[in-house]
């Protein structure tokens, strides 16, 4: 029996169409961490309502103008890719927007990642190499684990680890609202999509 190789399919990670429609109606700037968190938590909630992914949202913002540079929602199920977490999608979108793999490159303004839930082990690594200078989190990893998600292996002192790399971290901004989105997802029968052997 011979195995014939099949051509690899091109892979494109695209945001759902509703995001553009939603963002057109939103303000141009988000002057406070709370306003930025409100936006990304709403993206997480809409991601559930539109059936385009899991209950996580994120955004990369310029710190000088407080403008959204790259939105992100969890696209694991729709993209059939375990790495399509909201933080990674937002970072990728922002890097494409500024045309640099390094959001901390010379000549670029400082950028902040706002995420509806603290980063999992994979996203923690992505943040370290993204050039992000600040991270703001809503729900805790324990809130995600409480509804069944696997946060993966990450250092207990992950905040200190990021801060030693020059990345400041703020926790619990809008935690109650962000946690309720996680609970809503599971209560409505949303798939908790951990890898079986993870």
Closest by alpha carbon to 149, among 197, 188, 186, 189?
186
What gap in Å lies between CA 154 and CA 150, rounded to an integer? 11
Q: Is 87 a catalytic residue?
A: yes
Annotated catalytic residue within 38, 87, 112, 118: 87
Cα within 13 Å of Cα(168), Cβ side: 6
> Which residues is 111 bridged to in the sheet?
62
Sheet with 168-170, edge to edge strand ranges? 68-73, 57-62, 111-117, 134-139, 168-170
User: Annotated catalytic sites, by residue?
Assistant: 87
């Amino acid at each position: 029996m011979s195995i014939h190789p099949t051509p690899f399919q091109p892979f494109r990670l695209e945001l759902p169409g509703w995001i553009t429609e939603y963002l057109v109606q939103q303000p141009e700037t988000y002057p406070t961490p709370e306003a930025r968190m409100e936006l990304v938590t709403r993206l997480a909630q809409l991601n559930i309502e539109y059936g385009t992914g899991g209950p996580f949202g994120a955004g990369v913002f310029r710190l000088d103008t407080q403008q959204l540079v790259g939105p992100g929602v969890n696209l694991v199920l729709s993209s059939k890719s375990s790495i399509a977490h909201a933080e990674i999608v937002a970072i990728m979108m922002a890097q494409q927007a500024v045309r640099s793999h390094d959001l901390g490159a010379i000549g670029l303004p400082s950028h902040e990642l706002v995420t509806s839930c603290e980063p999992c082990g994979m996203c923690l690594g992505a943040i370290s190499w993204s050039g992000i200078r600040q991270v703001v989190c809503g729900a805790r990893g324990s809130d995600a684990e409480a509804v069944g998600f696997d946060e993966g292996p990450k250092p207990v002192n992950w905040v200190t680890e990021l801060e030693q790399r020059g990345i400041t971290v703020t926790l619990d901004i809008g935690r109650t609202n962000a946690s309720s989105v996680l609970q809503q997802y599971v209560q409505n029968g949303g798939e908790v999509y951990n890898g079986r052997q993870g």
